[in-house]
Structure 1
C-alpha cells in the first residue's frame, strides 16, 4: 500500500520527545488516565523513596494524602544533592526529575518494585500540575519547584537541615487524569505488602482529606514474610496462634535470594502467593513451582521413611500442597518475566534452587518436630487416599 493511496507520508508523522511525549500519551507511561494510573504515579515516587531508604540500610517512608489533592512522600534516607558533582554515584535528583536517562541506578535484587512497572520520577513530574522536591543533606535544606515538568526556579537553599532525607510533593494534573482522588485502601494494601517483603522497612500512610479528621496506618514487620503468612492466616479467623515455618537463603546459581514461609492450616484450601523483586507474580512461575516441588519431595520422602501408605502419593500431585498458606519471595539480579502483564516469573534456574532449599529446610524441620510432622504428613496421606 503506497503513501500516495492513503494520503499518508512522512509529513504526517508526529515526533514527540521528553515531557511532550509523556503528556500526549500518558497511558503509555502509567497504564491509564484513571485511578490505576493515578496510583502508579504514587507508586513511582514511593518506590524511589523505598529504594533510597533500603540502600542506606534501613529507615522509613511516610506518605500523606493532602486536603488539596496532593501527595507528599518523605523518606529518611541519605538524601543527595540536586546535581551530583562528578562521578560520585550519588543521587542526582534534578536529573531524575527532568530526564528519562538520569545515569546509573540501582538494579536487580537491590530494587523494590512498588508499582507494576518503572516509569521514573520524570514521568511523575511531567504529569503533575505542580511538583516540589526538597532534599536535606550536608546540613542544608534545598527546594526545587516544577509546573507540569518545567522548572519554576533553580534549586534554592531555604534553611538549615537537622537530618537527611528527601521529600517529594506532587499534585496529579487534572487536565490529564480522570480523577485525582487516590484510594486510601488500595495504597495501604500495597504499602503493607512492600513492608512485609522488606523486613524492617517502615511505611506509613496518612489521609488528611476526610472532613471528620485524618486517618492513618503504619507498617513495619520485623519477621518479614513470616509475619506475612501469619497475617494471611489471621484473615481466615482461626483465632489460633500460627506455627509458621520459614527460612531465607542466597543462591549464586540464581543470582539472588529467596525468603520463604509456610503454614499448614486446618482447611482444605491452598493459598500460595509469590513475589519477584517485591512485585506480585499473580500467575506464579518458577519460584512458586519450585516451592511446590520442594514441599512434595519432602512430604513423599518423609512418608516413605515412616512406612506410611504412599501408593497414591505422587510428587506431582497438587493435593500435597492443599491446606498450605505460603509466601515465596525471590529477589533476583536478572528477573525474567513472561507475558504482557509480567505476572509470571520465567527464570528456569530459580525453580531448581527454590525446590532444593524448600526440600532441605522442610526435611530438617520434619526431623526436629517429629510429632507435628507426623500429624501434617499423615493428614495429607489420608486426604489424598480418601479423594
Structure 2
C-alpha cells in the first residue's frame, strides 16, 4: 500500500523558479512591503558603490505606467563572459542566485547586499526588467521577463562615464498591488543621502513632472536636525561621535521634552528597524556612561533608587550607523543585525559619551536632569499602576458588577466584548452566546492614558474595570498567564464618536497591555453602518454595509427596485438578532485583528494623535486634510 509520498513527489526547481514559487522566502511577503523590497535590493547595490567611493550620484524615476528606474554613476556591471556560467556577467548576475561581487572584500570593503541574490530576485519577480550598463565608453543593454532573458547583451553605442541603470515593472501575478508609494521611496532615498555625506540622490516623478534632490554635507548630523525640527529639545547641544579605526561607527543624539524616544539604527546604510547587536551595544553603552557619570557626581535625588535604560531612552533621539565587512543579518530583508563584531560598540559608546559629559558639565547637567525627571515619572507611574493592579482580581467573585461574564472558564475559547454604554450593553447581552461571550459596558469616552497623570489613572473606574475584567494586571505586575479571555473585542458604534472611543481603548492596550496586542488577543468588531432593504415581498433583499462608499455602490445597482435605508446611529438601535448576525456570531461577523508591524511608526502615531503636544496634531491635520472625503461632525 502506497503512503502517497514517493520520489515522483520530489521537485527540483531550476534557475529562478524557486523565487517565483516561494517569493516570501526572499522578500518577506508579496504585499506592499515585499513590493518595495524589490526597490531596496537594487537601490542597495547602487549605494554599495557609493559606500566604497565609486559613486556620488543616484537617480530614481517613477513612470506613469508603473515602471521604476534606478541609476547610479558607479563602475558599471562587468559585461565580459563569465568563466563559470559561459554567459555574459550581466546575465549571470540577474539570472543566478548567489552571483555577485560582494563575496570578495577587495571589491567591496563594506556592503549592504551580501548574498548575491537581490538582483536575481528582482528579475524573477518582474514582469519586465531592463539593465543598461555604461562601461569602457560603450553603453550596453539586456532585457528580461520573469527571470528569463529576452535578448542577449546588446551594444547601443558610445557612452560617457560609467554606471548602471535598472528599469523594471513588478509582476502582477506575484504582487497584490504593483503601485509604488512615492512617499515610502522618498523617505528611503533621503535617508540614504543622510547616511552617506555628500551623496546626491534624485527622485523624479514623470506623472507629476516633479524632481526632488537630496544631498547632505553633514550626513547624520543633518538627519538629527530634521528629527529635532518638530520637537522641543532640552537645553543641551547634540552629541556626535565618529570612530574610524578598524570599526567605522557614527552616532548623533539629543534629548527632547517628549515622552517618546526614537533610535534609528543602520548597518552599511541598511535600516534595521528590529535593532540587533549594534543597537544593543549603543543602548547599553549610553546607559552605563550616564550611570557612571551620575555616581561620580552628586548621585540620585531621594526616592530614586536607580536610572534604568527606559529612563535614558525617554525623549532620546539618536541615529546609529555602523559599517562592517563581516556582516550577518537575520533574513534576506535585513531587519535585524546578528553580527557578533558589533559588540565593540558598547565600550566605544560608554567611553566617548562619558568623556564628553565630564568635558561639558553644563550640557551634562541638563541631560542628567532630563533622565532623572524620567526616573521620577516612572516611579510615580509604577506606584499608580501597582495601586490599580492590586485592586484587579481574576476571581469571579471580585469582578466588576457591570461585567456580564460567560459560563466557560476556557481562556482560548472565550471572548470579552467591550461596548459603549448601557444601551449597547443591553443589546449585546441579548445577542451574545453566554456560554463563551462576556460583555463589559463602559461609560462613553474613557480616559486618554497618553495624557493622563498617575493620579487620574489610579482614580479612573473604567480603567479599573477593564483591568479587573481582563485579569492580567498591568505594568510591572502584569502576568500573561492570568488572562481570562482569548479574544478581547472592542465593539463601538460605526461613527466618529465610536471611532474615537475605539482609539482611546487601543491607546490603553498599546501603552499598558502591549503583550496582549503583540500576542494577537485584541480585535476590533466591524458593526454595519447601514441596513439596506431592496425590493418588496418575496423578492426582498436585505444587505448590511459598512461605509458610505459601499452603500453608494450598492444603490447604483438597484435597477429600479424599491429601496429602504436605515442608518444605525449606535449598537443600541439594533435588535438582538441583527447585532448577533452582523457583529457577534463567529460564523457571520467580521473582526479586525490588531497587530504591530512597525513599533516606531505605531509609537509615533499614538504620540501624534493622542499625546500632549497639540502642534503635532495640527501639523497632521494640515498634511492630511485634503485626504478627507466625508467628515461626520
TM interval, shorter chain, is 0.7 to 0.9
* Aligned partners of 1:44 and 1:118 also within 8 Å: no
* 1:356 CA drift (Å): 1.8
2:67 is equivalent to residue 70 of structure 1: yes
**Residue of structure 2 in register with 1:369 after alignment:** 360
Deviations 1:161-218 (A, max 9, x none): 1211111111222233332211111112222223322333222222223xxx333333
* 1:126-162 per-position Cα deviation (integer Å, ceiling 9, x unaligned): 2222222111121111122223333233222212112
Q: Is 2:223 the counterpart of 1:225?
A: no
If asked which structure has higher relative contact order (CA below 8 Å, sep 6+), I would say: 1
Distance 2:314 2:166 in 1: 45
**2:314 touches 2:374 (CA, 8 Å); kept in 1?**
no
| Alignment match, 1:21 | 18
* Residue 284 of structure 1 pairs with residue 282 of structure 2: no
Q: 1:159 pairs with 157, 160, 183, which one?
A: 157
Structure 1 residues 307 and 229, CA, compared in 2 at 3 Å: closer, same or farther?
same
Aligned partners of 1:300, 1:273: CA distance in 2, in Å? 23
Q: 2:99 corresponds to which residue?
A: 102
SS in 2 for 1:135: strand
Mapped to 2, the partners of 1:182 and 1:15 lie a distance apart of: 33
Which deviates more, 279-288 or 72-81? 279-288
Alignment partner for residue 229 of structure 2, among 205, 227, 234? 234
1:214 has 2:206 as partner = no
Distance 1:344 1:7, change over 3 A: same
CA contact (8 A) 2:237 2:363 kept: no
Q: Once structures 1 and 2 are overlaid, which stretch shifts more, 279-288 or 183-192?
A: 279-288
- 1:76, distance to aligned residue in structure 2 (A): 0.6
**1-structure distance, mates of 2:337, 2:110:** 17
Please give the secondary structure, in 2, of the residue aligned with 1:304: helix
Distance in 1 separating the partners of 2:332 and 2:149: 35
Structure 2: distance between partners of 1:208 and 1:376: 47
Task: Check 1:151–1:181 CA distance in 2 against 1; reply closer, same or farther (3 A cut).
Answer: same
Partner of 1:190: 188
Please give the alpha-carbon distance, in whole angstroms, between the structure 1 residues aligned to 2:171 and 2:331.
31
How do 1:1-387 and structure 2 match up within 5 A? 4-83=1-80, 92-105=89-102, 110-112=110-112, 119-209=117-207, 213-236=208-231, 238=232, 243-250=237-244, 252=246, 256-309=247-300, 312=304, 314=306, 316-337=308-329, 343-348=335-340, 350-351=342-343, 353-381=344-372, 383-385=374-376, 387=379
- 1:217-259 Cα offsets, whole Å, 9 max, x none, are 33222222222222222243x399983211111464xxx4221
Q: Which runs of 5+ in 1 are unaligned?
A: none
The one-character-per-residue Cα deviations of 1:270-308 (angstroms, maximum 9, x if unpaired) are: 222322333333333332332233223332333333334
- Are 2:236 and 2:363, in contact at CA under 8 Å, matched by a contact in 1? no
Cα distance in 2 for partners of 1:189, 1:315 equals: 35
Partner Cα distance (2:297, 2:361) in 1? 11
Q: Provide closer, same or farther for how the CA distance between residues 337 and 99 of structure 1 changes in structure 2, counting only shifts above 3 A.
A: closer
Superposed CA RMSD = 3.1
TM-score, normalised relative to structure 1: 0.83
Unaligned runs of 5+ in 2: 380-633
CA contact (8 A) 1:58 1:200 kept: no
Deviation at 1:17, TM superposition (A): 1.0
Measure the CA separation in 2 of the matches of 1:337 and 1:142.
34
User: Mean Cα displacement is larger for which, 129-138 or 313-322?
Assistant: 313-322
- Return closer, same or farther for 1:375/1:175 CA change in 2, 3 Å cut-off: closer
**What TM-score results when the alignment is normalised by the length of structure 2?**
0.53
Partner of 2:544: none
Cα deviation for residue 92 of structure 1 reads: 3.2
Q: Name the CA distance, whole Å, in 2 between partners of 1:241 and 1:380.
A: 13
Once residues 248 and 355 of structure 1 are traced to their aligned partners in structure 2, the CA distance between those partners, rounded to angstroms, is 14
Task: Tell me, in whole angstroms, the C-alpha distance in 2 between the residues paired with 1:138 and 1:241.
Answer: 55
In 2, the alpha carbon distance for the partners of 1:385 and 1:346 equals 34
Report which of the two has the higher share of strand: 1
Cα distance 1:189–1:156, how it changes in 2: closer, same or farther (>3 A)? same
Greater C-alpha radius of gyration: 2
SS of 2:11's equivalent? coil
